[in-house]
């Protein structure tokens, strides 16, 4: 549900619930975007690949 859905209510319960949900989703999405950009940069040679193990 988004604030654009007709069931959305502007009250504290909705703000807390969906606030936390979208924060969690943003963190996950942000992490994935970070990995994608970093990988692209490494593949294009702008960043050096670090070795593990």
The residues that touch another protein, with contacts defined as CB under 8 A, are 1, 5, 7, 13-14, 17-18, 21, 24-25, 27-28, 31-32, 34-36, 38-39, 42-43, 49-50, 52
Backbone angles phi, psi at 51, to 5 degrees: -100, 135
Q: How far is the CB of 38 from another protein (least distance, A)?
A: 5
Q: How far is the CB of 10 from another protein (least distance, A)?
A: 13
Contact 16, 10 (CB under 8 A): no
Q: How far is the CB of 25 from another protein (least distance, A)?
A: 6
> What is the spatial distance between Cα 4 and Cα 36, in angstroms, rounded to a whole number?
29
């Amino acid at each position: 549900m988004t604030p654009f859905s007709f069931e959305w209510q502007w009250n504290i319960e909705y703000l807390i619930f969906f606030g936390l949900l979208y924060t969690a989703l943003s963190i996950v999405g942000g992490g994935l975007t970070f990995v994608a950009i970093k990988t692209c940069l490494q593949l294009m040679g702008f960043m050096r690949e670090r070795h593990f193990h």
